[in-house]
Chain A
């Protein structure tokens, strides 16, 4: 290591946006052939740093030295010529172009002739797919691929540009744990071929499984560089948040046993089969499993968006039919959807508008005319109750961080006084600090007697928040963990093993302490 010169050196790099210093003098070195993780909460400056290195933003101050040369007037083309490739969180692929064209496009745009030759595309794309070890149809439009395969196409595109240094911005957000596993293997493989990878994530388990070294960002500053083996989850969280974060484990305190929600033999062909469970007041029932296990499909069915083929749903002992969201709401069921911005909020509208739109009756008079005062009052109430950091309810909701947006979504539903709250992956893309606050709110709601269904594929999250857990696989309940089962010492490990490798359950089911449900 001592003889090799660093691939990238950043010296005192800084940038401001509208008077706010987003990066406050970052020093960083990346060596050839290492996997570095940039860790930090949302808004800590990781993404801004990547955008400067890749030439999307121009730094206000400091130097960027790439491969020994100081970069002047840096731009995306220069960055890419210097071997720096970035896979952005949204992948930046072209849905309407083919797989081959997406992989080859940089070459075609910057180095090719004005004409496009299909053979040339094939020549460029095929070896990259081989390097990554996947077989995709080069002529298929990217729009038809799964998220995981899109991710691989993005990697191939970077490789096609002779990447020396590959930045991956939150690459695992939309992947199932099995796909994450495969992606991390591919990243390790690339490192062995001499590529440096900078992996940006706030999922701690991924960081530890892949990183050689970790650089922690907080509030636009670098906290420090660490060897991966010198940190553990607790110390890393502390560096990221600046405080000790530990999630209090949820315990149900309610005495009532009459369920508010009962589901019997619910089936929807190709989604899920024969699901039976109940939710009591104060329960936080976890549903976990890989993507495609049927969790989201179940949540949508409970909210009237995915009509079940057979089975019964009882709310407070009475059988109900839920064929539209409105039905669900009149029965007191609320859904916090998986995709906050697209399904849960109106991104271009103000916080106040987002809150008041859910409760038109509370903010308008008998003629349906809005009362501005009620809108203000209600939205302030939600913002304060939920602890949203920006108390100004007239700002566009899209400028809030993910965590604060989610608080608004949950708070909005609370105005309805729901009896059952369905949370579908409520903390995806939310940083640790906000997560803890959201968990805390959910615990409070449950203690007040609301029944909560909590869908997540993060083991830590399920363990901390739920008092009962169902593990699903391919539409069926694989196993139920009751309160007593969850007290077992190896519960988290068992749960993680079960999620990652659901097919193993048949082998060990004999010794499993929990009963299998639905039979």
Chain B
């Protein structure tokens, strides 16, 4: 008999109800699809999900950290586009074809744009949703006016980015000669997850983020630097977005500043919320965000194995989100009722 569950040994905590439910959903779905279509239960589907989800997971980590700090950010996709597009244009103007340069500029610009969010939110004491909704338009608008909205096809995308997009850590050759490959992005995402975990749980800054999200007033009273914490949170989100932008174009071999922004924000926030992060702040786990995003990716990528059109994925994901929220909050309400708590959440 195991004294502790393997989960507890690894994470030093019990799985929270959202994580548990998500795990059940994933296992059930995978089992169901595998039975209907044995092709699904191979490396192809898994590699697809991981490779295309790696970039989104980086955005999800940003969303998670903002939610924990008690805010909500919808400008991350705009920042990803603006930062990486500017970086590419700059590299082309300077005629340097260096991935490091592009990453450096994109991540740096992301941090600057993120800190603009933090400054506005903090000094004007405005709701984060509205501020980031507005700054997203402003950032994207300034880019469109000053830099234009020109798209780049594969021949114009810097060579170093194409190579980056074709970086694979694992290739499997099938009998018919076709190859299935796992993108090297999973290494980057894994590393970013580790860094984010370390920051959140093992550094003073990370605990300040939880503290500010739990109660800003209390945090102020013990002298936590609220502005410093916010500045960190939003610039970290900006940096993650800048990184993700470069990863995104590199894998597409195509750059179009009109995609991404306006398309992925709410899905990613939903994926993080499904993973147990609360819009009220202070709560949320990296594992939850990962599982939430995995479910989202499952539905977006694998319905084809069931012979369904991608249009179904929205319906499936929405239904899972709703069902899980109903179950979780119903349980919470039952528990509250027992404890005679009548507040809404």
Contacts and interface: CB of A to CB of B under 8 A. Distances in A.
Nearest to B337: A306
Contacts of A88: 221
Contact of B204 (A76, A112, A300): A112
Classify the secondary structure of B's interface with A: helix
A80 B221 CA distance: 10
Which of B204, B206, B208, B213 is packed against the most chain A CB atoms within 10 Å? B204
Interface string A43-56: 00000000000101
A95 B215 contact: yes
Contacts of A297: 340
B214 A343 contact: no
Interface in B199-226: 201-208, 210-211, 213-215, 217-224
A305 B343 CA distance: 13
A96 B283 contact: yes
B340 A300 contact: yes
Contacts of B224: 109
A292 to B, nearest CB: 10
Contacts of A96: 210, 213-214, 282-283
A76 B217 CA distance: 12
Which of B214, B283, B343 is packed against the most chain A CB atoms within 10 Å? B214
Interface stretch (A13-21, A100-108, A219-227, A464-472): A100-108
Interface stretch (A59-67, A113-121, A256-264, A493-501): A113-121
Nearest to B282: A96
Contacts of B342: 305, 343
Interface string A286-311: 00000000001100100001100000
Nearest to A92: B218
Contact of B340 (A54, A56, A95, A296): A296
B342 to A, nearest CB: 6
Nearest to A337: B342
Contact of A116 (B207, B221, B340): B207
A113 B207 contact: no
B207 A97 contact: yes
Given A97-B211, A296-B340, A342-B343, A77 B223 contact: yes
B208 A109 contact: yes
A110 B223 contact: yes
A92 B207 contact: no
B221 A76 contact: yes
Contacts of A408: none
A94 interface: yes
A110 B219 CA distance: 12
Classify the secondary structure of A's interface with B: loop
A93 interface: yes
A305 B217 CA distance: 32
Nearest to A106: B222
A75 interface: yes
Contact of A92 (B201, B206, B221, B340): B221
A93 B223 CA distance: 13
A109 B223 contact: yes
Given A94-B214, A97-B214, A297-B340, A116 B203 contact: yes
B281 to A, nearest CB: 8
Contact of A95 (B217, B220, B282, B338): B282
Interface string B332-345: 00000010101100
Contacts of A90: 217-218
B204 A108 contact: yes
B222 A76 contact: yes
A105 B215 contact: no
B222 to A, nearest CB: 5
Contacts of A95: 214-215, 282
A116 B215 contact: no
Nearest to B224: A109
A277 B224 CA distance: 54
Contacts of B218: 90-94
Contacts of A112: 204
A113 B204 contact: yes
B282 A105 contact: no
Interface string B37-61: 0000000000000000000000000
A27 to B, nearest CB: 26
A96 B201 CA distance: 12
A86 B224 CA distance: 15
Nearest to B283: A96
Contacts of A270: 338
A76 B218 CA distance: 11
Contact of A114 (B205, B283, B340): B205
B223 to A, nearest CB: 4
Interface in B212-267: 213-215, 217-224
Given A75-B223, A101-B207, A306 B340 contact: yes
A116 B207 CA distance: 8
Interface of B: 201-208, 210-211, 213-215, 217-224, 282-283, 338, 340, 342-343
27 contacts: A54-B221, A56-B221, A76-B220, A76-B223, A80-B222, A80-B223, A90-B217, A90-B218, A92-B215, A92-B218, A94-B211, A94-B214, A94-B282, A96-B210, A96-B213, A96-B283, A105-B211, A105-B222, A106-B223, A108-B207, A109-B204, A109-B208, A114-B205, A116-B201, A116-B203, A270-B338, A343-B342
The 7 closest A-B pairs by CB, nearest first: A92-B218, A96-B282, A94-B214, A77-B223, A96-B214, A76-B223, A94-B211
Given A94-B214, A343-B342, 20 more contacts: A75-B223, A88-B221, A92-B215, A93-B218, A94-B282, A95-B282, A96-B210, A96-B282, A96-B283, A97-B210, A97-B211, A97-B214, A101-B207, A105-B211, A106-B222, A106-B223, A109-B208, A109-B223, A114-B204, A306-B340
